[in-house]
Amino acid sequence: MNNNNATLASCYKDYSKILSKVIKMAKKMEYDKLILNSCNKAKTTRDIINNQEKTKRSEMRALKFQDKKITDQHTIAETFNKSFVAIAENINRQKKSELIDNVDDNRYSHTHFMEKTFNIPYPSMEDKYTTTKEIEQIIIYLKTKNSYGYDEISTKILK
């Protein structure tokens, strides 16, 4: 393309815009068709979004932090972690100092601090006994999945 030719440059720019719009509309129509013909619309939508996210993700190449340029990915992650931890510690420190400043001299006890921090009463819990048969029935009705919860045990392993 000859940059000196303004008309050609203008046509190229207009064509690029039109092409981008056509591609965008074609993708939208394809995604709409996939979702419409899907048995599990939520999963299909999630798959489309995940595929789009994969194409948009890019690796951070460098980070400037405290006048230093960091290029190692592990060091960048550690720098972010340390920064966020420092922010959380500063917030906690400010909250604690606010609570202590509001306390009378004779109330410097840990219990007073706990009462001020957690001012809502804890709900009472009641233990209920279950049988092995009840647990087995619950496990049978669980959906078989690879994902797991806090215990890090998937339902696939339980079954």
What Cα–Cα distance (Å) separates residue 58 from each residue in 24, 62, 130, 146?
21, 12, 50, 28
Q: Is residue 19 part of a domain?
A: yes
Q: Is residue 5 part of a domain?
A: yes
Of 17, 36, 57, which one is at a domain's C-terminal end? 57
Q: Is residue 45 part of a domain?
A: yes
Q: Find the mean pLDDT for residues 112-139.
A: 73
Provide the residue range defining the domain that includes 151.
129-159
Of 38, 57, 76, which one is at a domain's C-terminal end? 57
Check residue 83 and give its pLDDT.
82
Question: Which pTM does this prediction carry?
Answer: 0.32
Check residue 40 and give its pLDDT.
87
Q: Is residue 155 part of a domain?
A: yes
Check residue 1 and give its pLDDT.
47
99 vs 130, more confident = 130
Of 25, 42, 57, which one is at a domain's C-terminal end? 57
Q: Is residue 97 part of a domain?
A: no
Check residue 116 and give its pLDDT.
65
Judge contact between 70 and 62, C-beta under 8 A: yes
Check residue 61 and give its pLDDT.
75
Structural domain tally of the chain? Answer: 2
Q: Is residue 77 part of a domain?
A: no
Pair of tokens at residue 118: 């957690």
Q: Please, how many CA atoms are within 13 Å of residue 145, restricted to the half-sphere of its CB?
A: 8
What Cα–Cα distance (Å) separates residue 53 from each residue in 21, 47, 58?
20, 10, 10
Q: How many other C-beta atoms are found inside a 10 Å radius of the C-beta of residue 35?
A: 15
- Which of 68-72, 104-108, 127-131 shows the lowest mean pLDDT across its residues? 104-108
Q: Is residue 149 part of a domain?
A: yes
Q: Which tens digits make up the pLDDT trace of 27-83?
A: 889 988 988 898 888 888 888 888 877 665 556 677 887 888 888 888 888 888 888
Q: Is residue 118 part of a domain?
A: no
